[in-house]
């Protein structure tokens, strides 16, 4: 008994020392990481982790359900798609054809209204809100300096950084896109309760605007710019700019760093469903129009869907670009295989949400599952 008491005292002392060390080294965000992710058996963020964080509501006030296609759910998923859905933990697979719901299926206890983490698909919304802010005159153009809004980026090379650089992933900062390292700035930004402080600590690595480098921090900075320019929170600005006008059927949630600081995790973490995510793909497919109204400037949409840098044909402004089977697709992409994939000429939108993707090919590189989801959708449609 004495040994057990001594052992427990030692364990308690070690834990206290560990906590003190974390606070002393400004890595106390790891306590939250352990509590919300690692103790639940995960090694990275997961689809329902939004339940463990502070969130703000994105309201849905004027629902416009997708019309059902005359061939709605007239086919079943191909065997290859069924296997992929099982192997990679798909929770939603939806095909929208000619602006009508052609196929939908849900798995693992999820249904049409279940919330699921967007992860980096949120970046497309943030870039769209930049376009909206330019359209409404809050921001002059893609060439306006970030320094006009964020004083921490007014010295040296940082003064050359533009809002367009942030949207196209060309800030030149030293952001480290490492999802599985507990000490990376990516992990810190996910769990830290003061994102502004984290972002303002970034340093310059290269000259802005010269080349693409995937960096979630660019989108986070862009959100801070938009909030400064509009004097509106990102979740309210998204509600009034897109979520309500596009007829979303369900209110969504956007994770914030804390109730006190109230800054969204702009590079990720909108909790919603496949059919409401698909609406943003339709808006861009239709050159910024919704029900005949110009919700987003068509010139901004067109620019967003073209590569900024010839050396990086896979990325425009907030959107991914891919050519497959001699067809050009643009898409929203998120961690673990969240996709809204659009082929405008065929008027097709494919949405896949799930727990994981095919083996990683490196940061930003296209994984095999994307091609599979496209190919099998087209087989199902006999195109």
Residue 213 has pLDDT above 50, yes or no: yes
Can you name the CATH fold of 49-381?
A: Beta-lactamase (3.40.710)
The mean pLDDT of 274-292, rounded to a whole number, is: 98
CB atoms within 10 A of CB 204: 18
Q: 42 falls in which pLDDT band (50, 70, 90)? A: confident
At 102, is the secondary structure helix, strand, or coil? Answer: strand
Q: What pLDDT does 16 receive?
A: 39
Model pTM? 0.92
Other CB atoms within 10 Å distance of the CB of residue 320? 23
124-162 as b/e: b if 16+ CB within 10 A:
bbbbbbbbbbbbeebbeebebbbbbbbebbeeeebebbb
Strand partners, 354: 90
- Distance in angstroms (rounded) separating the CA atoms of residues 165 and 170: 5
C-alpha–C-alpha distance, residues 286 and 373, integer Å? 22
Task: Provide the residue ranges of all domains of the chain, joining segments of one domain with +.
Answer: 2-36, 49-381
pLDDT digits (tens, 9 = 90+) for 182-212: 878 999 999 999 999 999 999 999 999 999 9
Statement: residue 67 has pLDDT above 70: yes
**Measured distance CA(146)–CA(165) in Å, rounded:** 9
Mean pLDDT in the chain?
A: 92
Cα separations in angstroms, 230 against 125, 149, 259: 16, 11, 20
Distance (Å, rounded) from C-alpha 215 to C-alpha 203? 13
pLDDT of residue 22: 42
Please give the Cα distance from 118 to 121 (Å, whole number): 5
The per-residue pLDDT for 18 is 39
Distance CA 277, CA 339 (A): 9
pLDDT at residue 8, rounded to an integer: 45
d(CA 191, CA 29): 6
DSSP letters, 61-99, are -S--PPPBPTTTT-S---HHHHHHHHHTTEEEEEEEETT
- DSSP alpha helix (H) spans, the chain: 2-24, 29-36, 79-87, 122-135, 163-167, 185-191, 195-200, 216-230, 234-238, 274-285, 298-304, 368-381
Between vectors from CA 280 to CA 274 and to CA 285, what angle results, nearest 5°?
115
With 70 as the cut, is the pLDDT of residue 5 above it?
A: no
Q: Write out pLDDT tens, residues 303-336.
A: 999 999 999 999 999 999 999 999 999 999 999 9
Measured between alpha carbons, how far apart are the two ends of the chain, in Å? 73
**What is the DSSP track for 319-350?**
-EEEEETTEEEEEEEETTTEEEEEETTTTEEE
Q: What are phi and psi of 198, to 5 degrees?
A: -60, -45
């Amino acid at each position: 008994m004495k040994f057990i008491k001594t052992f427990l005292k030692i364990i308690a002392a070690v834990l206290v020392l560990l906590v003190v060390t974390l606070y002393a080294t400004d890595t106390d965000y790891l306590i939250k990481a352990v509590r919300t992710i690692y103790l639940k058996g995960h090694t990275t963020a997961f689809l329902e982790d939004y339940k463990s964080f502070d969130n703000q509501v994105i309201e849905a006030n004027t629902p416009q359900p997708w019309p059902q296609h005359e061939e709605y759910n007239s086919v079943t998923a191909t065997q290859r798609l069924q296997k992929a859905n099982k192997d990679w933990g798909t929770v939603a697979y939806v095909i929208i054809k000619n602006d009508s719901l052609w196929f939908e299926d849900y798995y693992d206890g999820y249904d049409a209204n279940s919330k699921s983490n967007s992860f980096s698909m949120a970046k497309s919304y943030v870039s769209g809100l930049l376009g909206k802010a330019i359209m409404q005159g809050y921001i002059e153009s893609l060439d306006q300096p970030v320094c006009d809004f964020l004083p921490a980026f007014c010295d040296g090379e940082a003064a050359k950084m533009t809002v367009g650089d942030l949207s196209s992933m060309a800030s030149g900062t030293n952001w480290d896109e490492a999802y599985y390292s507990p000490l990376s700035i990516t992990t810190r930004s996910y769990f830290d309760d003061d994102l502004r402080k984290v972002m303002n600590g970034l340093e310059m690595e290269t000259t802005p605007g010269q080349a693409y480098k995937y960096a979630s921090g660019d989108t986070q900075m862009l959100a801070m710019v938009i909030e400064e320019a509009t004097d509106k929170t990102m979740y309210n600005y998204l509600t009034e700019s897109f979520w309500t006008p596009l007829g979303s059927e369900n209110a969504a949630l956007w994770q914030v760093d804390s109730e006190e600081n109230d800054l969204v995790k702009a590079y990720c973490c909108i909790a919603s469903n496949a059919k409401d995510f698909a609406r943003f793909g339709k808006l861009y497919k239709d050159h910024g129009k919704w029900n005949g109204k110009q919700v987003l400037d068509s010139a901004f949409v067109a620019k967003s869907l073209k590569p900024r840098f010839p050396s990086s044909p896979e990325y425009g402004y907030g959107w991914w670009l891919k050519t497959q089977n001699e067809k050009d697709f643009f898409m929203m992409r998120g961690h673990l295989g969240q996709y809204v994939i659009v082929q405008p000429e065929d008027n097709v939108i494919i949405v896949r949400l799930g727990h994981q993707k095919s083996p990683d090919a490196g940061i930003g590189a296209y994984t095999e599952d994307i091609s599979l989801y496209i190919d099998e959708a087209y087989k199902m449609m006999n195109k």
